[in-house]
Amino acid sequence: MSTEQPKTEQPKKTSSGLDENIANLVCYLGWWITGLIFYFIEKDNKNIKFNATQSIITFGGITIAMIACSILSLIPFLGLIFMVLGFVVWVLGIVLWILLMVKVYQGEKYKLPYVGDLAEQYMDKF
């Protein structure tokens, strides 16, 4: 009879000192701001660099779209359209935020269409 415990794989540590799945989650937690922080903090882990870059592009774009919709909602008559559009963009952002955090915490590499390709292209530029 063997009394050996099955070996469980230890989560990979990162240059930030966090486990990989936690660091990936934090990349998305504060939208583009934490993505930007982890983009510059992480030195070695390509997966975290990818998620940080994807966070910056995704949520940076959503933030810019929400600001633009807020400004354009001040236009008489057309403003209502931009107000509704801004709300739709905000809901999309919340859904993506939750989806991405759940996926990366579970250890999946989740690549958004188009944005994921841009993230792969730009993750090592700086």
The answer to whether residue 115 is domain-embedded is yes
Per the structure, the complete domain to which residue 97 belongs is given by 20-122
pLDDT, tens digit (0-9, with 9 covering 90-100), for 11-46: 566 777 788 888 898 999 998 999 999 888 888 888
pLDDT lower than 70: segments of the chain:
1-13, 126
| Dihedral angle sign, alpha carbons of residues 87, 92, 95, 100 | negative
Dmax (CA) of the chain: 80
Phi and psi based region of residue 19 (left: phi greater than 0; alpha: psi -120 to 50; beta: remaining): beta
The answer to whether residue 94 is domain-embedded is yes
The answer to whether residue 113 is domain-embedded is yes
The answer to whether residue 3 is domain-embedded is no
The answer to whether residue 10 is domain-embedded is no
The answer to whether residue 66 is domain-embedded is yes
DSSP assignment, residue 114?
T
Number of domains in the chain: 1
Provide the whole-model pTM. 0.81
The answer to whether residue 7 is domain-embedded is no
